[in-house]
Amino acid sequence: MTNKTIYKDAPEYCGYYFDLIQSDDLFSEFEKSKELTLNVFELISPELENYSYLSNKWTIKEVFRHIIDMERIFAYRAFRFSRFDETELSGVEENDYIEKVKQTDVKLSDLQEEYLAVRNSTIWIYRNIKSEMLDFKGTANKQTYTPRTLGFAMIGHNIHHCNFIKTKYLNQ
């Protein structure tokens, strides 16, 4: 990312995600990562929906489920912090979340529709966050975030997993 000031208000692990983003234009990057994700959905054949490159790794559908789940969580945190909410928010265990839905037979097309609904909702949350609200520092999972850093973390997290699907699952 060209604007390195975003790094100062984010946990260290977010740097990896930020480095995957091309600009500091939050809305443009939300749209670009949405298009990337929709393109990756289109690459998945019915035979690959439940494919995992190793027996102990998530399937492609589980990776998409994870992207959706984490976006919901990050968007909720951003919403709370943008309202100057000082309540410390708990962390989540991503593997437990996936385990709970493993037996759910969801269609890939339904995941794609859900992804679009969640991403569009996230964009609407951010459209209603004024600039002074973007930099309120809140705590989640014992780490400090701002709505701005959470937005960029969502985008980078999304890009990371799409790239991962393309390389590890589709050999592209």
Strand, helix or coil for residue 89: strand
Three-point CA angle 36, 167, 95, nearest 5°:
85
- pLDDT 10s digits, 23-76: 989 999 999 999 999 999 999 999 999 999 998 899 999 999 999 999 999 999
- pLDDT digit string, tens, across residues 112-146: 999 999 999 999 999 999 989 999 999 999 999 99
Q: Is the pTM of this model over 0.75?
A: yes
CATH class of 4-169: mainly alpha
CA distance 153 to 115: 16
Of 61, 18, 55, give the one whose Cα is nearest residue 41. 61
